[in-house]
């Protein structure tokens, strides 16, 4: 539509200039109009500047248009039931338009080589629209309104663009692009039971879903190449499934947001400089998020708003950053990194949340923050120069466990509340559990009925700390050389 306007103007000027030339004697034009039942129309044009237009009004109509040569334009309109439209164009600079209104309609457009443009609009039930373009600078757009529609777009070449807009139920969208600079979008798709399958192979591919509203939808996106981008924006519904696989470099997956219950999001990136961002993430209840990044310079962030979410982020590589946030109750957030220079951040605001951070590698930093009642936090680090910080302001009845295995580890802990149970374990050398003004301070456990257990094994370990509560129990065990323990409990 508006996407094709500029290209249509250029084509119109080119055709008018070509018609003004005396060398072009093969200028065909065909116009067909049929009103009635059981009509069959076939238009065949070869060589020269072609133009074909057809109108059919009735039942069981079938139209077949074949054009070979250059500067072809084919346009078809069908109204009624049982219509079949096939447009095939070969070679240079094609355009095809098809408009169908009725039931059981099938529209298929095939274009070969340079500068193809195709537009198909179908309004009715049981419709099928298929477009295949081979060449460079192809553009295709399909709009369907109705039930049980099937839409498929295949593009091969460079700088391809495809767009669906679907309103209805039980729709199936498929798009395959091979080449460079491809873009695929699903805009305003509404209905239930929709399936979106996007497969792109090449460089600079872009895939997107915007405004998809409905339940039980499934979206599969597979991008192989460099600088791949997939965006899911303003998706709303229940029991939806989104599976994204990006293989290459500079991959980006953006989810903002997915609203509904019982949704599942799977995101996997293999390559370098991958980024997965869900600033608004999942809004609803009982949603699942699984993120897997393998490569270098990976960044992943997801935030959930609701209850009973499961967020899992795993990174394997170098310079990884992972953030998992949950607002609500009974959420489970896990962040794991295997590599170097990793930064993990896990936070929850609510009750009965389970937070865990696991790091294996060098120069790791783990941040865990929770606010609410009866939350569980677990931090595990295995490597060198690890740092773990746990903060729980205004929290009570929480259970915190931290374990570090390696060298030069640091645990900085601050929990304020009642009935807390905290266990800290360090195995290595130069480990520090601070508090009472040591280094950056912290290790303050406040509240009533708290239990603190600290275990260090190695050399040059230091425990300072403080527990500000009544009826608290603290046990400190140090095995090694040069250890320092200062314990203070106040009422």
Query: Can you tell me the distance from the alpha carbon of 476 to that of 282, in angstroms, rounded to the nearest whole number?
Result: 42
- Looking at the domain assignment, is residue 183 inside a domain? no
Which domain covers residue 85, as residue numbers? 1-147
Distances (CA, A) of 322 to 147, 287, 356: 41, 19, 12
How large is the average pLDDT for residues 159-174? 88
**pLDDT for the residue numbered 55:** 94
Element (H, E) at 147: strand 139-147
pLDDT digits (tens, 9 = 90+) for 324-360: 999 999 999 999 999 889 999 999 999 899 999 999 9
List the beta strands (DSSP E) in 273-349.
Answer: 275-283, 288-296, 299-305, 310-318, 321-327, 332-340, 343-349
Helix (H, G, I), strand (E, B) or coil at 120: strand
| pLDDT, tens only, 4-35 | 344 334 334 333 433 343 334 467 899 999 99
d(CA 223, CA 220): 10
Listing DSSP states for 163-197 in one string gives: EEEEEEES-EEEEEEEEES-EEEEES-BSSS-EEE
pLDDT tens profile 385-441: 889 998 887 667 778 898 988 888 888 888 876 677 889 888 888 888 888 888 888
Domain stops at, among 147, 175, 197: 147
Q: Which of 127-131, 370-374, 469-473 has the highest mean pLDDT?
A: 127-131
* pLDDT bucket at 204, cuts 50 / 70 / 90: confident
Token look-up 């603290």 returns 474
pLDDT of residue 26: 60
Choice among 162-171, 327-336, 340-349, 476-485 with the minimum mean pLDDT: 476-485
Question: Hey, what long-range contacts does 224-233 have (CB within 8 A, 24 or more apart)?
Answer: 224/200, 224/248, 225/200, 225/201, 226/250, 227/203, 227/251, 228/200, 228/204, 228/252, 229/205, 229/253, 229/254, 230/198, 230/206, 230/254, 231/206, 231/207, 231/256, 232/208, 232/256, 232/258, 233/208, 233/209
Residue 31 lies in a domain: yes
Angle CA 389–420–355, to nearest 5: 50
What's the confidence (pLDDT) of residue 437? 87
Tokens read off for 53? 């237009």
Bridge partners of 344, per DSSP, are 322, 366
Which has more pLDDT, 54 or 211?
54
Q: What is the pLDDT of residue 338?
A: 93
Question: How much is the average pLDDT of 123-141?
Answer: 93
Exposure string for 75-99, b = 16+ CB within 10 A, e = fewer: bbbbbbbbbbbbbbbbbebbbbbbb
188: in domain: no
Tell me the C-alpha distance between 225 and 223, whole Å: 7
Q: Give the pLDDT confidence score for residue 294 in this predicted structure.
A: 93
Decide if 335 is inside a domain.
no
For the chain, what is the domain count? 2
Q: Residue 486 falls within a domain, yes or no?
A: yes
Least confident segment among 1-5, 53-57, 365-369: 1-5
Convert the pLDDT of each residue in 83-128 to its tens digit: 999 999 998 889 999 999 998 999 999 999 899 999 999 999 899 9
Q: Which of 114, 147, 180 is the last residue of a domain?
A: 147
Q: Are 472 and 489 in contact (CB under 8 A)?
A: yes
Q: Which tens digit of pLDDT belongs to each residue from 236-269?
A: 888 888 999 999 889 999 998 889 999 999 999 9
pLDDT reported for residue 134: 94
Tokens found for residue 63? 């139209």
Work out the average pLDDT over 434-456: 83
**The pLDDT of residue 1:** 39
Name which residue leads in pLDDT, 53 or 216. 53
- Looking at residue 397, its pLDDT comes to 72
**Contact between 51 and 29 (Cβ < 8 Å):** yes
At 67 the pLDDT is: 94
Which of 168, 166, 88 is closest to 125 using CA atoms?
168
| DSSP assignment letter at 113 | S
What's the token pair of residue 126? 């049981």
Q: On the CB side of 123, how many CA atoms lie within 13 Å of its CA?
A: 6
Does residue 318 sit within a domain? no
Q: Which of residues 42 and 460 earns the better pLDDT score?
A: 42
Each residue of 268-323: pLDDT tens digit?
A: 999 888 999 998 878 999 999 999 999 889 999 999 999 999 999 999 988 999 99
pLDDT at 462 over 90: no
Out of 129, 147, 165, pick the residue that ends a domain: 147
CA–CA separation, 316 and 321 (whole Å): 11
Residue 85 belongs to some domain of the structure? yes
Give the largest Cα separation in the chain, rounded: 103
Beta bridge partners of 350: none
Q: Is residue 76 part of a domain?
A: yes
Local structure of 10: helix, strand or coil: helix
Q: How confident is residue 454, by pLDDT bands cut at 50, 70 and 90?
A: confident
- At 190, the pLDDT band (50, 70, 90 cuts) reads confident
Say what the pLDDT of residue 398 is: 77
pLDDT digits (tens, 9 = 90+) for 58-88: 989 999 999 998 899 999 999 998 999 999 9
pLDDT at residue 480 tops 70: yes
């Amino acid at each position: 539509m508006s996407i094709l306007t500029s290209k249509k103007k250029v084509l119109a000027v080119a055709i008018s200039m070509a018609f003004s030339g005396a060398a072009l004697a093969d200028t065909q034009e065909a116009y067909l109009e049929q009103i009635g039942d059981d009509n069959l129309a076939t238009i065949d044009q070869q060589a020269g500047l072609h133009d074909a237009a057809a109108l059919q009004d009735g039942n069981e109509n079938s139209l077949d248009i074949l054009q070979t040569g250059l500067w072809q334009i084919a346009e078809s309109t069908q109204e009624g039931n049982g219509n079949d439209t096939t447009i095939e164009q070969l070679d240079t600079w094609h355009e095809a338009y098809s408009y169908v209104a009725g039931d059981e309609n099938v529209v298929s457009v095939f274009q070969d080589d340079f500068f193809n443009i195709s537009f198909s609009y179908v309004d009715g039930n049981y419709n099928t629209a298929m477009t295949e373009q081979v060449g460079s600078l192809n553009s295709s757009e399909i709009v369907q309104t109705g039930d049980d529609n099937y839409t498929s777009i295949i593009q091969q070449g460079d700088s391809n663009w495809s767009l669906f807009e679907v309103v209805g139920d039980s729709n199936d969208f498929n798009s395959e692009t091979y080449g460079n600079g491809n873009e695929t979008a699903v805009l305003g798709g509404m209905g239930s039971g929709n399936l979106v399958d996007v497969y792109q192979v090449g460089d600079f591919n872009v895939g997107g879903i915007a405004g998809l509203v409905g339940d039980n939808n499934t979206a599969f996106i597979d991008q192989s190449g460099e600088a791949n981008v997939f965006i899911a924006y303003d998706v709303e519904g229940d029991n939806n499934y989104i599976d994204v696989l990006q293989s290459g470099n500079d991959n980006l997956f953006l989810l903002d947001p997915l609203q509904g219950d019982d949704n599942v999001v799977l995101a996997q990136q293999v390559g370098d400089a991958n980024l997965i961002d869900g600033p608004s993430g999942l809004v609803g209840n009982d949603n699942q998020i699984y993120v897997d990044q393998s490569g270098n310079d990976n960044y992943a962030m997801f935030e959930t708003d609701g209850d009973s979410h499961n967020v899992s982020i795993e990174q394997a590589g170098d310079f990884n950053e992972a953030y998992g946030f949950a607002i609500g109750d009974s959420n489970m957030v896990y962040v794991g990194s295997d590599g170097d220079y990793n930064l993990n951040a896990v936070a929850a605001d609510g009750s009965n949340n389970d937070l865990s951070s696991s790091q294996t590698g060098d120069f790791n930093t783990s941040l865990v923050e929770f606010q609410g009642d009866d939350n569980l936090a677990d931090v595990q680090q295995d490597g060198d120069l690890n740092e773990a910080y746990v903060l729980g302001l205004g929290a009570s009845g929480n259970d915190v466990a931290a374990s570090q295995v390696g060298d030069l580890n640091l645990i900085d802990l601050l929990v304020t509340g009642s009935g807390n149970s905290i266990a800290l374990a360090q195995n290595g050398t130069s480990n520090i559990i601070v508090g009472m003004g040591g280094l950056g301070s912290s290790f303050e456990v406040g509240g009533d009925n708290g239990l603190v257990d600290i275990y260090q094994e190695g050399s040059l370990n230091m425990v300072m700390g403080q527990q500000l509560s009544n009826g608290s129990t603290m046990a400190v065990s140090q095995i090694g050389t040069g250890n320092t323990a200062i314990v203070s409990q106040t009422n």
